[in-house]
Amino acid sequence: MQNVSLSPVGPFDDVRRIKKWITYAVRHNVQVLDIENGCERNIQLPPHLFTCESLTEFKLYKIILYLPLRIWLPSLKVLHLISVYLKDGQLDEALFSASPSLETLILVNCNITSGILIISASQLKNLNLKGNFPSSIVVSALNLNSLKLNITNSVPVNIIFNGNLKLISDANIDLKGDSSVSTTQLISIVKNVRYLTLSALFVQSIAVELQKDLATRKCSETPFSNLKWLKIGTLFSKDEVILINHILMHSTEIESVFLVNDAGKFDGLKNIAQVEQYEVKYKLSHLKLVEIEGFRGSENEMELVNLFLENAIVLEKMIIFLCKSGECSSIDEQELVKVGRKLLTQPRASLTAGIMYWRI
């Protein structure tokens, strides 16, 4: 038996039958087990499930989880918990030590009531955390390859990574980085990645710290030597444009850049200072694609557009999607048309660069 999926729904009262099905699956060497609880009662998992040596992938949805004293899951590679309440207050370290083959850990909207979350897994390659989490997170995973953080806490979360994560190649960071220690360490970690996505909320935090915190400034000046693909959410504020310029300046291998104007989402278009003119002393020697979404034609947006056109010597495409009609009603449509016409005649470092300028 390889794959088993259980999805009880509605007023399902016979939870004992579900336990029997799980027991049957364990005895027949189940490899992939997916339990999505859509009924009105909690499903208490049988203890012998946590000693299933054949289990390689385990997914739980909407369950109060009671971890037994004895756990041994030697083949488990993927653990996916969605809306799971951890009754004992935290993910027990014993769970990770009893899962020596764990490669992927996904925690989405789980209720972890302790003050600290400790993730220690020597073979972990993919870590995805989404939702509210304890105030401190400690990660020990030297083989980590992919990191996704979408942390929605209203107060700062202190995240500590033990060791040098030199193998990480893909990072997606979406959190409020009010702690300069965590922010500085996160920047240091993503220095090695090939693919990087930063949310507008995180970019705002870094941009402010870049101006006032010496450690953050020094950290941002070291090379993103492997970065090929970059996506940034931004309000195109003065500090954020300076930050984006910092990243580009130190990303000598960058090939694709995606900028998303989130001013409508955060109502951030008001009182945004114009960035001062400055001389760009570097070339984007490998940049081939630039895409800007939600373009509003602001001076700061144009500053970056001109930077790309004047310094990307092998640029092939610049695709500019205008903001949606409902999101930029205060912007003069005629002005956007004028901006588009101006862009078509703008000097370009690349003779093969094409510009597409349109509304979705």
Domain ranges of the chain: 1-168, 175-360
Sign of CA dihedral 82, 86, 91, 95: negative
The pLDDT > 70 percentage for the chain reads: 85
Per DSSP, the three-state class of 174 is strand
Query: How much is the pTM?
Result: 0.89
Kindly report, residue by residue over 215-241, the tens digit of the pLDDT.
555 655 667 889 999 999 999 988 899
Please check the confidence at residue 131 and state whether its pLDDT lies above 90: yes
Please check the confidence at residue 101 and state whether its pLDDT lies above 80: yes
Per the prediction, the chain carries an average pLDDT of 86
Bridge partner residues of 4 (DSSP): 33
Please check the confidence at residue 272 and state whether its pLDDT lies above 70: no
Per DSSP, the three-state class of 64 is strand
Residues in the chain: 360
Per DSSP, the three-state class of 119 is strand
The mean per-residue pLDDT over the stretch 331-360 comes to 85
Please check the confidence at residue 166 and state whether its pLDDT lies above 50: yes
Per mean pLDDT, which range of 35-44, 67-76, 242-251 is the poorest? 35-44
Q: What pLDDT shows up at residue 8?
A: 80
CATH of 175-360, one of 3.80.10, 3.40.1710, 1.10.150, 2.60.120: 3.80.10
Greater confidence (184 vs 213) lies with 184
Sign of CA dihedral 257, 322, 281, 315: positive
Greater confidence (279 vs 225) lies with 225
CB 81 within 8 A of CB 108: yes
The first and second tokens of residue 261, run together, are 């104007």
Please check the confidence at residue 269 and state whether its pLDDT lies above 50: no
Sign of CA dihedral 298, 304, 308, 310: positive
Q: What pLDDT shows up at residue 342?
A: 86
The mean per-residue pLDDT over the stretch 154-169 comes to 88
- Choose among 175, 298, 305: nearest CA to 248: 305
Q: What pLDDT shows up at residue 215?
A: 55
CB 236 within 8 A of CB 298: yes
- Choose among 332, 334, 333, 339: nearest CA to 357: 339
